[in-house]
Amino acid sequence: MDILSDRDPRLQIEDGEPVPILSAHVDWELESSLLRRLIGLDGQPVVLPVGAKITLYTGPSVVFVGRAQEDQSVLDMLSCDGVGDSEYEDF
């Protein structure tokens, strides 16, 4: 699913303020979902810190929450390995 500028996409990294982006693409799958092709307002790919919690908003709604991967995709939080000593991630 392509999320384009008409949906007011914003990207939040960890606990930072959500910032507007131009577009993103979500691959929804049964076992896991990926957020990919994050494009900033400058038309350049958004660079994500590996392991960071990433939240994608459209308007006031949360569309996707996950962890940044080495290939700059974001794996949905439910598919990520446990974080720290905890078995569950606190949203």
**Number of domains the chain contains:** 1
Higher pLDDT, 83 or 3: 3
Contact of 21 with 42, CB cutoff 8 Å: no
At 19, list the tokens. Answer: 């910032």
7 found inside a domain? yes
Q: Give, rounded to a whole angstrom, the gap between the first and last alpha carbons of the chain.
A: 24
pLDDT score at 81: 66
For residue 64, give its domain range. 2-79
pLDDT score at 54: 97
33 found inside a domain? yes
Q: Is the pLDDT of residue 13 over 50?
A: yes
Residue 7 and residue 34: Cα distance in Å, rounded?
Answer: 19
Q: What is the pTM of this model?
A: 0.84
pLDDT in tens, 41-73: 999 999 999 999 999 999 999 999 999 999 999
Q: Is the pLDDT of residue 34 over 70?
A: yes
Q: Is the pLDDT of residue 88 over 50?
A: no
Residue 53 and residue 68: Cα distance in Å, rounded?
Answer: 7
